[in-house]
Amino acid sequence: MKAIILAAGKGSRLDQSGETVKCLLKFGSSTLIELQCKYLRECGIHEISVVVGFEAERVRRTGGLKLEYIDNPIFEKTNSLYSLWLARQCFSDGFVVINSDVLFHPQLLSDLLTARREDALLVSYREETEYGDEEMKVKVRGGRVVDISKDLDPAEADGENVGIVKFGPTGAKLLQEQMAPLVENGVLRSWAPRAFLEFAKRRPLHVVGTRGFPWTEIDFPQDYRRAQEEIFPQIITSPDAVPCSIVPHGEGGLK
């Protein structure tokens, strides 16, 4: 299995300058993308491709020579669906895709990769959370995704998309087939979950719950403060991080 990190976007909402590269945000002595790569390698995934766009050379310098880089030359006119499409040569043997602006406990990646279902998406179940327009909301029935969108009625949402999804070889082939007409029809500014929804209409896309392990998406200054002050300290002090090869987590619908 390979990994794809979507890192072409510009962190325009993080500061007034609009020049922040979200995957290069620092946590301790590491950048966010370095942490993500570390967790992937701990799970036995060493073939990692990064889709770059904004400040691509800075991302390359940080990531180093062990990563493959795929350029999105029109990143300002496109979104994550198109970035993922550019990485489709990585699909064939199955892959996991990660949004580069997600700080997460490594156990979440372990749970996803060891779930028995080949095609699965990490979901943070609602609990007491109130959703607005910003969250990528998910509707789940029978442990499967039936809807995923920022425009989903918050009252119908069962949880929030974490931004980490895996597809086995068969699922990856179907995903590529579903993405092709979207790209051909110019749906370039959509988020990658638009393609995941089309996939879910034709093949089960199972869910894996976060089980309370900490994570956060970083879009705004308050997200970064929370990530530094609350989420990252929980991650580095947790005794519960378990290598992927040790704990098979079972069915994907667990909360």
Give the tens place of pLDDT for each residue, 231-246.
999 999 876 555 565 3
Residue pair 121/144 in contact by the 8 Å Cβ criterion: no
Token match 């119908």: residue? 156
Looking at the domain 2-237, which fold is it? Spore Coat Polysaccharide Biosynthesis Protein SpsA; Chain A (3.90.550)
φ/ψ of 88, rounded to 5, equals -65, -20
Residue 95 CB burial class (10 angstroms; 0-12, 13-18, ≥19)? buried
φ/ψ of 44, rounded to 5, equals 85, 10
* Size of the chain, expressed as the number of residues it contains: 255
Residue pair 205/152 in contact by the 8 Å Cβ criterion: no
Q: Taking residues 199-226, what's their average pLDDT?
A: 96
Q: Taking residues 173-185, what's their average pLDDT?
A: 97
Residues 6+ apart with CB under 8 A from 181: none
The pLDDT of residue 18 is: 65
pLDDT in tens, 15-73: 756 678 999 999 999 999 999 999 999 999 999 999 999 999 999 999 999 999 999 99
The more confidently predicted of residues 63 and 251 is 63
What's the number of CA atoms in the CB half-sphere (13 Å) around residue 59?
Answer: 27
Residue pair 124/209 in contact by the 8 Å Cβ criterion: yes
- Residues linked to residue 68 through DSSP beta bridges, in sequence order: 49
Report domain extents, the chain: 2-237
- Lowest pLDDT segment from 92-101, 126-135, 234-243: 234-243
Q: What is the mean pLDDT of the chain?
A: 92
Of all residues in the chain, the percent with pLDDT exceeding 70 is 92
Minimal CA–CA distance to 111: which of 187, 34, 164? 164
Token match 């002595």: residue? 29
